Structure 1
Amino acid sequence: MKKTILLPHLLMGFYALLVAGSFHVGHRITMYMPPLVLTFVRFMLATLLFGCYVGLRYGLHPPSWRDMLRYLVISATLVGYFWALFASLRHTSALNTSMIYTLTPLYSTLFGLFFLGEKPSAGRVGWLVLAMLGALWVIAGGSSDRLLALSLNPWDFVFMAGCALMGLFSPLSKKLSRGEPTAVMTFRTLAAGSFLLFLLSWKELGSTDFTHWPPPLVWGLLYLVVCTTILTFFIVQYASLRMEVGKVMGYVYLTPVFALAIGLMLGHSFSMNVLPGVLVATLCTFFLQRS
């Protein structure tokens, strides 16, 4: 019983680590391919690879039109988030988007209340807010000046809407589940997302050179496809069926901490001023899960 309860938490901690690594990987490969095309290729390859596993394990059976609509709705939250991210990054800073992304667990908690009736306690909301503040402090590099200098433009509000869609992903996965295996749900969500991304990126696909893939792009795509598409989508959907969605996305606040640790291993330096934020984000995420 304890193992069953503990496993989703361990997986979500692993999720935060994988997402943190994607920031470093993504930064290195976006120069090789347009962002929307990169996202389509990422989804498509993940669909093909994970489809092999699902086919061997469960068999590939076409869903009904009603079921396909469920997967399209779930995947639309991810596609909308990625579109908002790439569109806003053309007009705003990575610092702004990183800080705005910390709203995602709050959105998940709100949608969990609205769609699932998961009413959070005042203590849980408090831990969530404190964890968010700790993560913001880490993202800002331990500088109050950088926090206070944050100014928002219209595209930042577009990304806020995108984060709301990402916050909706976990509650919708739980709400629209019909008892199918998590792997099957993940595969069909990826397939539906690939279809939607194709509709959005087909013009850019025609002008993209797919004949020359330098090694950094190949290895980077391999990481994004396996680690931060197949595994992360599976983990979130698996955990969402076994935990309250506010707690699931609360692990987002460990991502800046892991990103900092990975940066250190890569030889990057950081200000000691971030340590209070690391401590607050880590402890408050722990107490959030226990609340």
Structure 2
Amino acid sequence: MKNSAKVHAALFLVSLIYAANYSLSKDVMPTYMGPFGIVTLRIVGAALFFAAASRLVAPQDRLIGRADNVRAIICGVTGIGVNQLLFFSGLNYTSPINASLLQTIAPIVVVLASAVLLGEKITLTRVLGIGVGAVGAATIILSRDAGGLAYPNATLGNILILLNATAFGVYLVLVTPLMRKYHPFTVLARIFLVGAFVAVPFGWRETLATDYAGFPTYIWAEIVYMVVCLTILAYLLNNWALKYASPALLGVYIYLQPVLAVIIAVALGKDHFTPARAGQALLIFTGVWLVSRKPKPASQSTELPIPFEPVQD
């Protein structure tokens, strides 16, 4: 298989893994396990894996200096602990389609966070994209039929997902310098460790109170999927693909993820797609497209990273 085909295969599989999670998680929550319990299992499992991987792959690599260590702690809090707690709490209340569409605004948050934290200039095109994307997100959150009878607390869930995307966008801006300076496993081991300290106090009761003996086989399979595929496999595939994929190609797969999430949710009977949601998706996609457009050549050196690897989800 040619390298380009492998990159497409890896990015597609990552999109599929994330997209399926929106529907599969609904089987587990809240009947078999609460959202905080799932977060605890996932973060602790990933923390153990990346700690072992960093020792094997980059045993001499260590975070150096107070600034980098503080940055790693902030990344662990925002990108792992808070991000995961918000995502699964929000998904527990809202529908898979709403959650997948709202998560797509992460590139917009990256632009805003870079302007605030790094002093990056925002072009007129990106201002327009931020506005259009914000309108799309607002229509989802405020829609009267956002949840219906199936999701009576959908508005709260939508807000939590929006906050989740915001936390992840801030995380992406903060973690980029660390990823460029150290081995990825070194960074991931540290931030997942910090994330575990954030998540475990919220989720340990749900984790211990869960009746694991009563899990059907398919629930066990979905738990393993969320711990292994969603966190570890998706990261490994995505991290490899990012070495070869262009920003334009990553942009295509940003849009593909919610499309796959819609198809899976409808096929499994977890949600339904309406003309109103199509309009909301168009607004968000247009906003993300405008924000993700390359700046003029003079400012290409400060081009913002296009987020594709949600640590949520």
Aligned to 2:25: 26
Aligned to 1:207: 209
Aligned residues: 278
Aligned to 2:46: 46
Question: TM-score by structure 1 length?
Answer: 0.68
Question: TM-score by structure 2 length?
Answer: 0.64
User: Structure 1: which amino acid aligns with 2:210?
Assistant: T
SS in 1 for 2:170: helix
Cα pair distance change 1:125/1:253, threshold 3 Å:
farther
Find out whether 1:106 has 2:96 as its counterpart: no
Cα pair distance change 1:17/1:122, threshold 3 Å:
farther
Q: Is the 8 A contact 1:102 1:136 kept in 2?
A: no
2-side partners of 1:192 and 1:282: how far apart? 33
2-side partners of 1:105 and 1:272: how far apart? 25
Cα pair distance change 1:71/1:250, threshold 3 Å:
farther
- Please provide the CA RMSD for this pair: 4.7
Provide, for residues 243-289 of structure 1, a one-character-per-residue CA deviation record: whole Å limited to 9, x for no partner.
99xx9799654432121233466588966846677778778766765
The correspondence of residues 92-131 of structure 1 with structure 2, limited to 5 A, is: 93-94=94-95, 100-126=102-128
1-side partners of 2:28 and 2:154: how far apart? 27
Aligned to 1:81: 83
User: Structure 1: which amino acid aligns with 2:77?
Assistant: A
SS in 1 for 2:181: coil
Aligned to 2:189: 187
Provide, for residues 15-72 of structure 1, a one-character-per-residue CA deviation record: whole Å limited to 9, x for no partner.
4433211102211222221210111101111222333433322228775684554332
The correspondence of residues 228-239 of structure 1 with structure 2, limited to 5 A, is: 228-232=230-234, 235=238
Worse-matched range after superposition: 19-28 or 50-59: 50-59
TM-superposed deviation, 1:74: 0.5
TM-superposed deviation, 1:227: 2.8
Provide, for residues 121-161 of structure 1, a one-character-per-residue CA deviation record: whole Å limited to 9, x for no partner.
33345456657777999x79xxx9747x9x99677656544
Q: Is the 8 A contact 1:135 1:254 kept in 2?
A: no
Worse-matched range after superposition: 79-88 or 58-67: 58-67
Q: Is the 8 A contact 1:170 1:237 kept in 2?
A: no
Aligned to 1:170: 172
2-side partners of 1:96 and 1:217: how far apart? 23
User: Structure 1: which amino acid aligns with 2:47?
Assistant: T
Aligned to 2:73: 72
Structure 1: unaligned runs, 5 residues or longer: none
Q: Is the 8 A contact 1:72 1:192 kept in 2?
A: yes
Paired-residue identity, %: 22
TM-superposed deviation, 1:217: 2.7
TM-superposed deviation, 1:107: 1.8
TM-superposed deviation, 1:176: 4.6
Structure 2: unaligned runs, 5 residues or longer: 295-313
